[in-house]
Amino acid sequence: MACGKGGNAASRKRAKKKRGTAKSKLSMKLLVDSKAHRVLYAEAGKDVVDFLFNLLTLPLGTVAGLLTPAGSMSGSVSNLYRSIDKLDGSYMCRDDAKAALLVTPGGGGGKLLQLVPAAGFVQGVLTYTVKDDLKVAPMSSISAVTLLTSLGITDIASLQEKTVHLGHAEALKILRASLRSKKVLTDVFL
């Protein structure tokens, strides 16, 4: 259980090594209602939940920097970001002010998935349910049945399992969709 200060040094070292290696794609299983063409929920491990929770730690300037180049940042924040980017450094009160405001994770080099702290945020001993609107909860068979009932699912024959992988492109799509939609997983993966 490598969480916070929990877990021994060896488990923290393994977790850090695992994040820093070629494991650049995360995966989760989606339960899809093929009739309604929507994701009901995903089964996700610690790595995916840590990534999703880590989105809340990103500074707004970082989010704008990640989404503005593709023209996918709505609202006026992208204008503010571009204004700072175009502003000559001589107008800034500190030499490092512009760089601090325009900072992107890993220099913007596609390391969005590798920003999670070594210990992460949640325990890794169980599977989590991630709903289409990104509500996260520990998973159990009872909670899965209750969730299906609450979503009005009566025909289980229309349900399909789909495994998806999260790389940098999908991570950006999730970030973008989470700022605009209540059906993030459906918008990104279907």
Q: For 60-72, what is each residue's pLDDT tens digit?
A: 878 887 877 655 6
Q: How many domains does the chain have?
A: 1
- The predicted pLDDT at position 89 comes to 81
Residue 91 lies in a domain: no
Residue 97 lies in a domain: no
Q: How far apart are CA 114 and CA 35, in angstroms?
A: 36
Residue 165 lies in a domain: yes
- pTM of the model as a whole: 0.76
Got the DSSP string for 60-84? HHHHHHHHTTTT---SSHHHHHHHH
Residue 157 lies in a domain: yes
Residue 78 lies in a domain: no
Taking phi over 0 as left and psi of -120 to 50 as alpha, with beta for the rest, 49 belongs to alpha
- The predicted pLDDT at position 71 comes to 57
- The predicted pLDDT at position 163 comes to 97
- The predicted pLDDT at position 26 comes to 92
Q: Which domain holds residue 108?
A: 26-59+103-189
Residue 158 lies in a domain: yes
Q: Is 71 exposed, middle or buried (0-12, 13-18, 19+ CB in 10 A)?
A: exposed
